[in-house]
Chains A and B, each alone.
Chain A
Amino acid sequence: MVEDQDAGMFNVKQTIGTVLCCRCGIKMQPNAANMCVSCLRSEVDITEGLQKHVVISHCPNCDRYLQPPKNWLKAQWESKELLTFCVKRMKNLNKVTLINAEFVWTEPHSKRIKVRLTIQKECLEKAYVVEYVQQDHLCESCSRVAANPDQWVASVQLRQHVSHRRTFFYLEQLILKHDAASKAIKIKQMHQGIDFFFGNRSHAVKFMEFLRSVVPTKSRDDKQLVSHDVKSSNYNYKYTFSVQISPVCREDLICLPRRLSSSLGNIGPLVVCTKVTNSIALLDPFTLRHCHLDSDQYWRHGFKSLMISRQLVEYIVLNIEITSPPMEAKIGGARYLLADAEVARLSDLGRNNNIFSVKTHLGHLLNTGDHALGYDLCAANSNNSELEKYKSSLEVPEVVLIKKSYEEAWQRKRGKPRKYKLKHLEMEVEDRARVDEEKERSDYEQFQRDIEENPELRFNLSLYRNKEYQEESEAGSMADDAAGCSSVGGAAC
Chain B
Amino acid sequence: MATRLQFENNCEVGVFSKLTNAYCLVAIGGSESFYSIYEYELADVIPVVKTSIAGTRIIGRACAGNKNGLLVPHTTTDQELQHLRNSLPDSVVVQRIDERLNALGNHIACNDHVALAHTDLDRKTEELIADVLGVEVFRTTIAGNILVGTYCALSNRGGMVHPHTSIEELDELSTLLQVPLVAGTVNRGSDLIAAGMTVNDWTAFCGSDTTATELSVIENVFKLRKAQPSAIVDEMRKSLIDSYV
Q: Which residues of A contact B (CB under 8 A)?
A: 1, 12-17, 19-25, 30, 33-35
Contact = CB atoms under 8 A, between A and B. Distances in A.
Interface in B161-182: 163-170, 172
A13 B169 CA distance: 10
16 contacts: A1-B172, A17-B166, A17-B170, A19-B183, A20-B214, A20-B217, A22-B185, A22-B188, A22-B211, A23-B211, A24-B213, A25-B212, A30-B185, A34-B163, A34-B185, A34-B190
Interface residues of B, number: 22
A15 B168 contact: yes
Given A34-B185, A34-B189, A20 B213 contact: yes
B72 to A, nearest CB: 32
Nearest to B216: A25
Interface string B198-216: 0000000000000111101
B167 A17 contact: yes
Given A21-B213, A23-B211, A34 B168 contact: no
B189 A13 contact: no
A46 to B, nearest CB: 17
Nearest to A39: B189
B12 interface: no
Contacts of B158: none
B166 A35 contact: no
Interface of B: 163-170, 172, 183-185, 188-191, 211-214, 216-217
A30 B211 contact: no
A30 B163 contact: yes
A308 B238 CA distance: 140
Contacts of B169: 1, 14
- The interface centre, meaning the residue of A12, A24, A30, A35 with most chain B CB atoms within 10 A of its CB, is A30
A23 B191 CA distance: 14
Nearest to B185: A34
A16 B189 contact: no
A192 B211 CA distance: 95
Top 10 closest pairs, chain A to chain B, by CB: A34-B189, A25-B213, A30-B163, A14-B166, A22-B189, A34-B185, A19-B163, A17-B167, A15-B167, A22-B211
A361 to B, nearest CB: 104
A22 B189 CA distance: 6
A457 B121 CA distance: 102
B213 A16 contact: no
- The interface centre, meaning the residue of A1, A12, A14, A20 with most chain B CB atoms within 10 A of its CB, is A20
A14 B168 contact: yes
Given A17-B183, A30-B163, A33-B189, A22 B168 contact: no
Nearest to B214: A22
A23 B163 contact: no
A30 B164 contact: yes
Contacts of A17: 165-167, 170, 183
Given A30-B163, A33-B189, A12 B183 contact: no
A21 B217 CA distance: 11
A273 to B, nearest CB: 96
Nearest to A25: B213
B58 to A, nearest CB: 24
Contacts of A34: 163, 185, 189-191
A20 B143 CA distance: 17
Contacts of B163: 19, 30, 34
A38 to B, nearest CB: 14
B28 to A, nearest CB: 31
Given A19-B183, A34-B185, 12 more contacts: A1-B168, A14-B166, A15-B166, A15-B167, A16-B164, A16-B166, A17-B165, A19-B163, A20-B184, A21-B213, A22-B185, A30-B163
Nearest to A21: B213
Contacts of B165: 17
Contacts of B167: 15-17
Contacts of B183: 17, 19, 30
B3 to A, nearest CB: 18
Contact of A22 (B170, B172, B213): B213
Given A20-B184, A34-B185, A34-B191, A13 B213 contact: no
Contacts of A16: 164, 166-167
Contacts of B191: 30, 34
Contacts of A24: 213
Contacts of B213: 20-25
A290 B168 CA distance: 106
A30 B169 CA distance: 15
Contact of A19 (B172, B184, B216): B184
Contacts of B168: 1, 12-15
A126 to B, nearest CB: 20
Contacts of A33: 189
Contact of A35 (B170, B184, B189): B189
Contacts of B211: 22-23
A14 B169 CA distance: 8
Nearest to A18: B183
Contacts of A23: 188, 211, 213
A19 B166 contact: no
Nearest to A33: B189
A25 B220 CA distance: 14
Nearest to A23: B211
Nearest to A40: B189
Contacts of A15: 166-168
B116 to A, nearest CB: 14
B171 to A, nearest CB: 10
A107 B129 CA distance: 77
B160 to A, nearest CB: 10
A480 B172 CA distance: 121
Contacts of A20: 184, 213-214, 217
